Amino acid sequence: MTLNISVIGTGYLGATHAACMAELGFDVIGVDVDPEKIDSLSRGDLPFHEPGLPELIRKHVDSGRLRFTTDMGEVGAWADVHFIAVGTPQLPGGTGADMTYVDAATTSLAQAITKDRALIVGKSTVPVGTAARLYDLVKAEKNDDVDLSLAWNPEFLREGFAVKDTVEPDRLVVGTRHEADEQLLREVYAEALDRSTPWVSTDFETAELVKVAANAFLATKISFINAFSEVTETVGGDIATLADAIGFDERIGRKFLNAGVGFGGGCLPKDIRALQTRVGELGLDHTMRFLNEMDHINLRRRDRVISLAEEILGGDYAGTDENHSAVEGKRIAVLGITFKPLSDDVRDSPGLDIAGRLYNAGADVSVYDPQGNANAAKRFPRLGYVDSMTEAARGADLVVLTTEWNEFKQLAPADLNEVVAKRQFIDARNVLPAPEWEQAGWTIAQLGRKFD
Ligand SMILES: NC(=O)c1ccc[n+]([C@@H]2O[C@H](COP(=O)([O-])OP(=O)(O)OC[C@H]3O[C@@H](n4cnc5c(N)ncnc54)[C@H](O)[C@@H]3O)[C@@H](O)[C@H]2O)c1
Ligand SMILES: O=c1ccn([C@@H]2O[C@H](COP(=O)(O)OP(=O)(O)O[C@H]3O[C@H](CO)[C@@H](O)[C@H](O)[C@H]3O)[C@@H](O)[C@H]2O)c(=O)[nH]1
Domain co-membership, 211 together with 103 = no
Domain co-membership, 96 together with 219 = no
Q: Residues lining ligand 1, CB < 6 A?
A: 8-14, 31-34, 37, 85-88, 101, 104-105, 124-125, 155, 157, 159, 266-267
Domain co-membership, 259 together with 176 = no
Ligand 1 midpoint to CA 27 (Å): 21
- DSSP string spanning 25-56? T-EEEEE-S-HHHHHHHHTT--SS--TTHHHH
Ligand 1 midpoint to CA 362 (Å): 35
Domain co-membership, 429 together with 448 = yes
Among 177, 200, 223, residue at a domain's last position: 200
Find, among 179, 180, 126, the residue nearest to 153 by Cα.
126
Domain co-membership, 95 together with 122 = yes
The residue to mutate among 32, 42, 83, 86, having the most atoms of ligand 1 within 8 angstroms of its beta carbon, is 86
Domain co-membership, 388 together with 422 = yes
pLDDT tens across the length of the chain (452 residues): 689 999 999 999 999 999 999 999 999 999 999 999 999 999 999 999 999 999 999 999 999 999 999 999 999 999 999 999 999 999 999 999 999 999 999 999 999 999 999 999 999 999 999 999 999 999 998 877 789 999 999 999 999 999 999 999 999 999 999 999 999 999 999 999 999 999 999 999 999 999 999 999 999 999 999 999 999 999 999 999 999 999 999 999 999 999 999 999 999 999 999 999 999 999 999 999 999 999 999 999 999 999 999 999 996 555 556 678 999 999 999 999 999 999 999 999 999 999 999 999 999 999 999 999 999 999 999 999 999 999 999 999 999 999 999 999 999 999 999 999 999 999 999 999 999 999 999 999 999 999 98
**Which amino acid makes up residue 316?**
D
Task: Please report the ipTM that was assigned to this predicted complex.
Answer: 0.99
267 counts as catalytic: yes
**Which amino acid makes up residue 381?**
P
Domain co-membership, 191 together with 237 = no
Compute the distance between CA of residue 60 and CA of residue 193 in angstroms, rounded to an integer.
23
Instruction: Render the burial of 378-412: b for 16+ CB within 10 Å, e for the rest.
Output: eebeebbbbeebeebbbebbbbbbbbbbeebeebe
Could you report the per-residue pLDDT of 369-385, keeping only the tens digit for each?
Answer: 999 999 999 999 999 99
Domain co-membership, 168 together with 289 = no
Compute the distance between CA of residue 38 and CA of residue 44 in angstroms, rounded to an integer.
10
Domain co-membership, 19 together with 52 = yes
* Angle, helix 204-235 to helix 239-247, in steps of 10 degrees: 140
Domain co-membership, 296 together with 372 = yes
Compute the distance between CA of residue 450 and CA of residue 233 in angstroms, rounded to an integer.
4
Among 200, 217, 233, residue at a domain's last position: 200
The residue to mutate among 123, 157, 218, having the most atoms of ligand 2 within 8 angstroms of its beta carbon, is 218
Residue nearest ligand 1's atom 44 by CA? 13
Angle in degrees, CA 149, 137, 278, rounded to 5: 105
- Give the active site residue among 56, 210, 267, 367: 267
Domain co-membership, 99 together with 43 = yes
Q: Are 14 and 162 contacting, i.e. CB atoms less than 8 angstroms apart?
A: no
Among 171, 200, 229, residue at a domain's last position: 200
Domain co-membership, 151 together with 243 = no
Q: What is the CATH number of the domain that holds 135?
A: 3.40.50.720
147 belongs to an annotated ligand binding site: no
Domain count, the chain: 2
Find, among 33, 29, 59, 31, the residue nearest to 44 by Cα.
59
Structural domain for 79, as ranges: 4-200
| Any ligand 2 atom below 6 A from CB of 215 | yes
206 belongs to an annotated ligand binding site: no
Helix (H, G, I), strand (E, B) or coil at 443: strand
